[in-house]
Amino acid sequence: MRNQRAATVFAGILLGSVCLGGCAGQKDAGRTEQETNWEQAEEGESKVQEETQLTTEDGTNDSADYDALFEKITLTESYKGLDDTNPLMTQRFGADPYAMVYGDRVYFYMTADAFEYDGAAGKLGENTYSRIRSINVISTSDMINFTDHGSIRVAGKDGAAVWARNSWAPAAAWKEIDGKPRFFLYFADAGGGIGVLVSDSPTGPFTDPLGEGLITRQTPNCADVLWLFDPAVLVDDDGKAYLYFGGGVPEGRAADPGTARVVQLGDDMISLAGDPVRIDAPYVFEDSGIHKVGGKYYYTYCSNWQVDPEGTARYGFVNGEIVSMESDSPMGPFTLKETILENPGRYFGLYGNNHHCVFSFRDNWYITYHTRVLEQAMGVELGYRCTHVDEFTMGEDGTIGKIPQTLQGRRQLSYVDPYTQNRAANFAVMGGIACVASDDGAKQYGSGNMALGEIDTGDFVVVKGVDFGEEAPVKWSASVRNPKGEEGVIRICADGPDGTVLGYLPVADPAEEFTEYTVSLDRAVTGVHDLCLVFSGEGYELESWQFHKES
């Protein structure tokens, strides 16, 4: 591919003004091991450079020109420090997170908060939740890098459930039915009922098996529940499943709202095996949660905003905190155990509703919840939420204690293999990137296979913990779509956007479909490093990448 010298540099948003816990231009701390890896690679480096430098068609070396090009580029703001594990994503908001473990991955389903603008004035307004009709989904195998799977179209004329007005607070589960896994996505139609969608894949496409709500005002023992929303689901060891839901505070009943419910689901997961029963949860507000430890069941919920001193003295919690109750049965009765999560405003400065999910993955325990950290970093304080995860230790008796809320609170469970095809929409940190549909299925349903898109000069992604092994790669390939034939360059770096440059991939050829391009690397790398891709140019999309050891 022929590359003309770039004449124009598109400047990104100035980096460093609002980053959390460190900005994209800063190096990661604790690089002693990685520095050693560079030193060990030096002996074979000159040969790799000599044999694999980039050249144009006339045989001249472009590496120096690319170096000069990227020196002029201002990195796009990341809204998240390079060392931060929270929020999980910054390319979109995500609220009311729910975690579902399937195979070697955990999937997170989130209310698709998005900026609301005044139609006439175009002014950014408060998050009213009234326009939310999609559910965002991401997944991870290592708890640090997350794959964006897009937004499941749930409610309204473009959604699977055309009868529903909104899609809030999802819950997900899977169960083997008729010899194959089936996936079930429960959602709240605002506060008026709970629907269910089904799929053969955790990322969809999802379909509506009922054509109406699973839980409605006509469901027994539900007419007096103010808010029929916020589902949680448990598939027990014996295959029986249970749905938890409800919320709201009737006037004058702050201490005993009586609005939490549990019901056993049918074997098909889309019907009820009985009538819902009340959970006696003191000061309940919303946000049902459920997890099991040993033979005990733990119902968790958010306390309301009317907890008085008498209630605090009796139960130990205050307004807007996640409370845990214990039972020997999934249907209760439950008794109060402890407070496990304070309101995120205590840690990050902006209070709001508290929504969570407790789950176990690869023998580790986690809690996922939402905060207002992302909008705060963007200079917006209008109620738009993002998803966090923190790790904690589960006591043998099910005791958790108050879980600290952090920006850097998780370990990477496994390293990324660079020698297999990796989806470009899997990363830990990004600046300026959007994830777009990469195939017809994702375009039609909103979720599925995604690619990096809406690229501008200065945008970047960071993949944490890539293990190159003892033998250095010599080539890098990428699947790129460039429908307008715009010119661009991808800089391949180790250890941050301003880290060691491994090579450059020029983008110039028009390509309506994703096409694989391969480039030789300029420098050797071994051991474990973070991989960073920095972009120059615009109008192209990146679907996947892979390193190669053999020339």
Model confidence over 298-314: pLDDT tens digits? 999 999 999 999 999 99
Q: Which helix (H) or strand (E) holds 150?
A: strand 146-153
In this structure, are residues 313 and 328 in contact, taking their beta carbons and an 8 Å threshold? no
> 461 pairs with which residues across the strands?
430, 533
Question: Average pLDDT in the 43-52 region?
Answer: 33
pLDDT for residue 551: 59
- What phi, psi does 40 have (nearest 5°)? -70, -25
Helix, coil or strand: residue 395: coil
Q: Does the pLDDT of residue 41 top 80, yes or no?
A: no
Calpha distance 502→499 (Å, rounded)? 9
Q: What are the sequence ranges of the domains in the chain? A: 32-81+415-548, 95-392
Q: Which helix (H) or strand (E) holds 185?
A: strand 180-188
Q: Which residues contact residue 159 at a Cβ distance below 8 angstroms, ignoring those fewer than 6 apart?
A: 133, 134, 153, 167
CA distances from 183 to 105, 200, 206 (A): 14, 6, 9
Q: Which residues contact residue 96 at a Cβ distance below 8 angstroms, ignoring those fewer than 6 apart?
A: 110, 111, 168, 169, 170, 230, 287, 355, 370, 385
Neighbour-count burial for 410-422, b at 16+ CB within 10 Å, e otherwise: bebbebbebeeeb
Helix, coil or strand: residue 68: helix
Q: Does the pLDDT of residue 13 top 90, yes or no?
A: no
Please name the residue that has the structure tokens 């008729």. Answer: 178
Calpha distance 7→13 (Å, rounded)? 20
Question: Average pLDDT in the 219-233 region?
Answer: 98
Token pair, residue 16, equals: 């460093």
Nearest to 503 by CA among 45, 39, 32: 45
pLDDT for residue 409: 79
Question: Average pLDDT in the 116-127 region?
Answer: 89
> 392 pairs with which residues across the strands?
365
In this structure, are residues 369 and 97 in contact, taking their beta carbons and an 8 Å threshold? yes
Question: Average pLDDT in the 278-282 region?
Answer: 98
Token pair, residue 83, equals: 């060392």
In this structure, are residues 202 and 106 in contact, taking their beta carbons and an 8 Å threshold? no
Average pLDDT over the chain reads: 90
Q: Which residues contact residue 252 at a Cβ distance below 8 angstroms, ignoring those fewer than 6 apart?
A: none
Sheet holding 356-361, edge to edge: 356-361, 364-371, 386-392
485-507 pLDDT, tens per residue? 989 999 999 999 999 999 999 99
Q: Does the pLDDT of residue 419 top 80, yes or no?
A: yes
- Regarding pTM above 0.85, the answer is yes
Token pair, residue 534, equals: 């920095």
Q: Does the pLDDT of residue 38 top 90, yes or no?
A: no
Question: Average pLDDT in the 192-197 region?
Answer: 98
Question: What CATH number is given for 32-81+415-548 in this structure?
Answer: 2.60.120.260
Question: What CATH number is given for 95-392 in this structure?
Answer: 2.115.10.20
Residue 348 C-beta-side C-alpha neighbours within 13 Å: 28
Rounded to a whole number of angstroms, the CA Rg of the chain reads 25
Nearest to 478 by CA among 425, 414, 539, 537: 425
Helix, coil or strand: residue 37: helix
322-338 pLDDT, tens per residue? 999 999 999 999 999 99
Nearest to 135 by CA among 157, 120, 156, 150: 150
Catalytically annotated residues: 96, 286
- Give 354-375 as a DSSP string: --EEEEEETTEEEEEEEESHHH
Nearest to 169 by CA among 191, 184, 150: 191
Angle ∠(337,338,340) on CA atoms, nearest 5: 135
Calpha distance 52→489 (Å, rounded)? 17
Question: Average pLDDT in the 418-439 region?
Answer: 98
Is residue 33 very low, low, confident or very high in pLDDT (cuts 50, 70, 90)? Answer: very low
In this structure, are residues 152 and 135 in contact, taking their beta carbons and an 8 Å threshold? yes
Please name the residue that has the structure tokens 């940190």. Answer: 429
Please name the residue that has the structure tokens 């175009």. Answer: 122
Q: Which residues contact residue 88 at a Cβ distance below 8 angstroms, ignoring those fewer than 6 apart?
A: 94, 108, 138, 146, 386, 387, 388, 389
- DSSP state letter for 335: E
Token pair, residue 162, equals: 């055309």
- Give 187-210 as a DSSP string: EE-TTB-EEEEEESSTT---B-SS
Neighbour-count burial for 453-464, b at 16+ CB within 10 Å, e otherwise: bebbbbbbbbbb
Identity of the residue numbered 226: L
Token pair, residue 417, equals: 């293999």
Q: Does the pLDDT of residue 55 top 70, yes or no?
A: no
pLDDT for residue 550: 81
Q: Does the pLDDT of residue 82 top 80, yes or no?
A: yes
pLDDT for residue 62: 73
CA distances from 87 to 33, 147, 340 (A): 27, 14, 20
Other Cβ atoms within 10 Å of 40 Cβ, number: 14
Neighbour-count burial for 513-525, b at 16+ CB within 10 Å, e otherwise: ebeebebbbbbbb
